[in-house]
Amino acid sequence: MTLGVLLALAVGVLTASAQASSKTPAKATAKHSAQAGGQHPAGPRSLVARAGNEQVQLSWAIPAGARNIAGYNVYRNGRRVKTGVHGHYFTDTKLTNGQRYTYTVKAYWQTPKPGGNGTSSGKSGAVVTTLSEPAKSVSATPTHKIFWGATWIGTQFTGQEAPWDWNAVTDFENQDAGGHRSSLLGFGSSFHAKYCEGGMTIGTDDMYCAFPTAQMDNVRKHGVIPVFSWSTPDQGWNDPAFSDAAIASGSQDAYITQWAQAAKAWGHPFMVRLDHEFNGNWYQWGVGYTWRDSNGVKHTNTVSDFLNMWRHVVNVFRSVGANNATFVWCPNIDPQGGGGTKAGLYESDTGPLKSLYPGDKYVDWTCMDGYNRLHGNYDGKWETFSQGFGSTYKTIRKIAPAKPMLIGEIGSTGTGGNKSAWVSDFLKELPAHFPAVRGFTWYETADGNNDPIDGKAPAQGAFAKGLKGSQFVQNVYGGLPPGVIAPPSGT
């Protein structure tokens, strides 16, 4: 398979050509010249096209100093196939193997600038031929890269949680992962809580939780990407001002704006796992959750409430220019594929998960949370990773086939089966049969469910062995450029 590339930049003209295999993306070097005519948004640079099985993965660079770009449009063979890409990557799917495709990516402003227009006059282009045979026939060994790490590392290591104490991360890596350094770290807070993690409050208000600048810096300086779980508010609060409907109507705009402005001021990429496990009935923000306020008035989160809330929060971030936040849509798994009524899952109890998807414009990564816990699995039986996650993975891939996926929380009990074998199987099955999953964070809190790797010698050995090699990437991400976080590159 060969790749040929021809590119042109909005700030000048660029032409270059290259030959590469399917494992080597084509790039170009720029030779600038003056651009005549009015103002235009800065065009993307260095479009890279990577051929796959019935798909092509595109990525491009955002020029330094680019401002006020609303998004990118993607064209295949001269026809627009995607409008409003937020970030610098896109996967074009449902293609024909063995065919040659030409791609162009253009930037646009939401509002045209004086003397110019709303679409970049320059462009990045690439020509690529898809694989002549299905990927499984080309290589039996998956080679795509995967972020990895832990979420909610508890006090069992140092007496303090991460990232407030980075020694907890180091101990987790050394004791559980054989010294393999992580590339993701999960932590978080609510909008409004009786106690904000690490005392992250706004001013003298001990109820609203501030953007954790110091903690974000601590994660980034170690080369790790923050995965922040942000929820509305802590479970058990019955204030209607924090319902999905109220937030969508602007009840928390002052707080969300302040938080987003602080995120923008920090300036580095991070993931926001907003109201995770929203398809369950165990959190107040869950769809279908019903409660009564202090006046006895009944409230229920509806599908439209959830969708409006999500889109509203994302729009607030965009309105202040906080484009360093990558929004992660993270439902809980439904191992029985619609039959798990005991868990109170939206997928099985009320309607299809697809109806809870805010749309590609408002979601950067998809996600799954799930565990192998006998009391949490619907039939009370031990389940393998594929049995637990497989059905939901397929469902999400149908909903958002072009989005990379994260496993936001995962763990396994040691009761009822062999935990080390489960861990070993997970780290083999993940790259082999779940190719859209480009990152995971293991739930490392000792909360009585026996989920952590820590303290279980056979499981520690299996975890460390499974992470060996270069597929699970390490802590080299402290200098990520602004914008939506792309999956780890390379094969």
Question: What CATH code is carried by the domain that includes residue 156?
Answer: 3.20.20.80
- Residue 56: what pLDDT? 82
Distances in Å between the alpha carbon of 293 and those of 118, 299, 306? 47, 8, 19
Which of 150 and 289 is assigned the larger pLDDT? Answer: 150
422 occurs within a structural domain: yes
Q: Are 115 and 185 in a shared domain?
A: no
488 occurs within a structural domain: no
478 occurs within a structural domain: no
- Overall domain count for the chain: 2
- Residue 140: what pLDDT? 43
- Residue 351: what pLDDT? 60
Q: Are 365 and 296 in a shared domain?
A: yes
Residue 307 pLDDT exceeds 80: yes
Q: Are 446 and 326 in a shared domain?
A: yes
- Give the C-alpha separation, 443 to 156, whole Å: 13
Residue 423 pLDDT exceeds 70: yes
- Residue 219: what pLDDT? 97
Name the pLDDT band for 85 (thresholds 50, 70, 90): confident
473 occurs within a structural domain: no
Name the pLDDT band for 473 (thresholds 50, 70, 90): very high
Judged by DSSP in three states, 317 sits in helix
Average pLDDT of the residues in 234-250 = 84
Are β-strands 437-443 and 405-412 bridged in parallel, bridged antiparallel, or unpaired?
A: parallel
Residue 95 pLDDT exceeds 90: no
Q: Are 377 and 267 in a shared domain?
A: yes
- Residue 236: what pLDDT? 58
Average pLDDT of the residues in 6-24 = 27
- Give the C-alpha separation, 353 to 355, whole Å: 5
Which of 442 and 342 is assigned the larger pLDDT? Answer: 442
- Is the pTM higher than 0.85? The answer reads no
What mean pLDDT is reported for the chain?
79
CATH number of the domain that residue 99 is part of: 2.60.40.10
Name the pLDDT band for 110 (thresholds 50, 70, 90): low
Q: Are 281 and 288 in contact (CB under 8 A)?
A: yes
Q: Are 78 and 192 in a shared domain?
A: no
Name the pLDDT band for 135 (thresholds 50, 70, 90): very low
- Residue 119: what pLDDT? 56
CA-based end-to-end distance of the chain: 16
- Give the C-alpha separation, 3 to 23, whole Å: 10
Judged by DSSP in three states, 226 sits in strand
55 occurs within a structural domain: yes
Q: Are 181 and 94 in a shared domain?
A: no
Average pLDDT of the residues in 441-450 = 83
Evaluate the CA torsion angle 464, 470, 476, 477 in order and state its sign.
negative
Which residues have a Cβ under 8 Å from the Cβ of 318 and sit 6 or more positions away?
none
Q: Strands, E, within 232-286: which ranges?
A: 270-274
Name the pLDDT band for 348 (thresholds 50, 70, 90): very low
479 occurs within a structural domain: no
Residue ending a domain, among 113, 138, 163, is: 138
Average pLDDT of the residues in 275-297 = 87
Q: Are 271 and 392 in a shared domain?
A: yes
The residue range of the domain holding 106 is 3-138
Distances in Å between the alpha carbon of 294 and those of 291, 297, 357? 10, 7, 31
Find the length of the chain: 491
Q: Are 191 and 119 in a shared domain?
A: no
163 occurs within a structural domain: yes
- Residue 5: what pLDDT? 29
Q: Are 202 and 119 in a shared domain?
A: no
25-72 tens-digit pLDDT: 333 333 322 233 345 667 787 787 877 677 787 877 777 666 667 788
- Residue 294: what pLDDT? 80
Q: Are 125 and 158 in a shared domain?
A: no
- Residue 383: what pLDDT? 85
408 occurs within a structural domain: yes
Tokens of 363: 């979601």
Q: Are 165 and 127 in a shared domain?
A: no
- Residue 251: what pLDDT? 94
- Give the C-alpha separation, 323 to 261, whole Å: 10
Q: Are 300 and 417 in a shared domain?
A: yes
